[in-house]
Amino acid sequence: MKSDLGKCRWIFVLLLLIGSSCMSPQRQAELYYRAGVSKSQSGHKSDAIAYFSDAIKLNSTNDQFYLARADAKVALQGYVSAIKDYDRAVELNPSNEQVFYVRGLCKLGLKDNSGAIADFTAAIKLEPDDANAYNYRALARVNLLDRNGALDDFNKFVELLPQEATAYRNRAAVEALLKEYEKALADASKAIELDPNDGFSYRIRGEIKVMLKNFPDALPDFDKAIELAPQAAEAYAGRGNVKVLSYDFEGASTDLEKAIQLDPKSALAFTGRGFLKKKRGDNDGALADFQKAVVLGSQFAQTYQSLGYLQDDLFQWNPALENLRKSVEIDPSLDYPRFRIWLIRSRLGERDDATKELDSYVNSLQGAKAQDWPACIGHFLMGNVPESEFFNQATTTAKRPSDTGGQICEAYYYAGMKHLLGGDKEGAAELFQKCLDTGEKNYSEFSSTSAELRALKQP
């Protein structure tokens, strides 16, 4: 038996057929279109699509018919089919800004980021003050790792909607990726001021405070994020990571287990639990969690980086090299995995080729990045900077006081590794001990130094 909605549709069609002898096809198409709009507004999207299709059969040159059918398909998540209708609507009316905008949203949903950027750009050309088009183009650019381009778009988003919390929140996230932490902190705080009930803004501000090594102040932000969204697994994972860094292992374990319970597919939660196990000395458990994170978060460079670092500490050099290469393949802007790649390849007897590879990357850096601390590490490993100058750079290039100790820790590690590669085990051990003496336990170089010292002390 047909549903009541189905009966209504056939009654409507019957009435149209009865009156068709005295009604033009265009008029019939308009009636089908209106019926579709009515069905769509009442939530009956499938019936609406049928009516819009009938309208298109009678009049295939009306862009509004295609646009309406596409919108109904989007509501049912039929993005691929919807894009075909949007394509036709664009052919019929290339000056309709809304079509480019909604087609861009579909492409963004299908992870066609380049296509989405093209559509949002076309929409902006037709309507330069469409703030949402700038916002979504920025998100597509973030997905393609064009962070500077994304920042430009978010700046425009803020300019057009200066009272919109999302504008500041999104800009804060990109500024954090660009390591402009002070600016990011100000924007996240502004977002919270404008919308104090957005848990995501608290999470972003908490992450920024972690980057600034302000762990005590980061915790209340994650507490608030959880209060506002108690089912958000990522909020528990974020707070768990802060507790790992603060050496509150019991609290960290509770939060990370809760995150995994809420979302068994959270790569962030498994990565956090992997770091917890690593700090507790459970390398087998950490290895399993990092490997799980790679499976769940195969699109994230950091999952491969974390796994590669642990495998390097366990002297599993070939798999470590594979995972570190994968991390820079996903995110070519990463510096530190490249230094590990150089160290591992040098250990495997490929030092000349490793140096050529690193030299190509370091010489590609431009602007401020060419003078930053990571560039100094690259030049030191390649032999372009003497050790004494390298140690001096560890202090002089620090952008904030909280960076100094970590950079000194890193300097001792890389210097120690060069001594070790040169056969100077005694000199390496001395430098490794100085690295440990910095007390910068949250740096990967610190844990790697511990692993190297243990190996040196073995008979």
pLDDT computed for residue 124 by the predictor: 97
Express each pLDDT in 285-331 by its tens digit.
999 999 999 999 999 999 999 999 999 999 999 999 999 999 999 99
Residue 229 has pLDDT above 90, yes or no: yes
pLDDT of residue 119: 96
Buried b (16+ CB within 10 A) or exposed e, 141-154: bbbebbbebbbbbb
pTM for the predicted model, two decimal places: 0.87
Q: Is residue 11 very low, low, confident or very high in pLDDT (cuts 50, 70, 90)?
A: very low
What pLDDT is recorded for position 22?
54
Cβ–Cβ under 8 Å, residues 101 and 78: no
Residue 40 in 3-state DSSP? helix
Burial bucket for residue 2 (CB in 10 Å: 0-12, 13-18, 19+):
exposed
Q: Give mean pLDDT, residues 381-403.
A: 96
Q: Does the structure show a pLDDT above 70 at 73?
A: yes
Provide the pLDDT for residue 23: 66
Q: Measured between alpha carbons, how far is residue 59 from residues 30, 32, 37, 54, 84 in Å? A: 9, 11, 16, 9, 17
How many whole angstroms separate alpha carbon 70 and alpha carbon 39? 14
Number of other residues whose CB lies within 10 A of the CB of residue 16? 17
pLDDT at 442: 96
Tell me the pLDDT tens digit for each residue of 23-59: 677 888 888 788 888 888 888 888 888 988 888 898 8
Amino acid occupying residue 322: E
Q: Residue 17: its pLDDT value, please?
A: 47
d(CA 264, CA 284): 20
| pLDDT score of 183 more than 60 | yes
pLDDT per residue as tens digits for the range 89-130 = 999 999 999 899 999 999 999 999 999 999 999 999 999 999
Share of the chain above pLDDT 70, in %: 95
Asked if residue 19 has pLDDT above 60, the reply is no
Give residue 2's pLDDT. Answer: 44
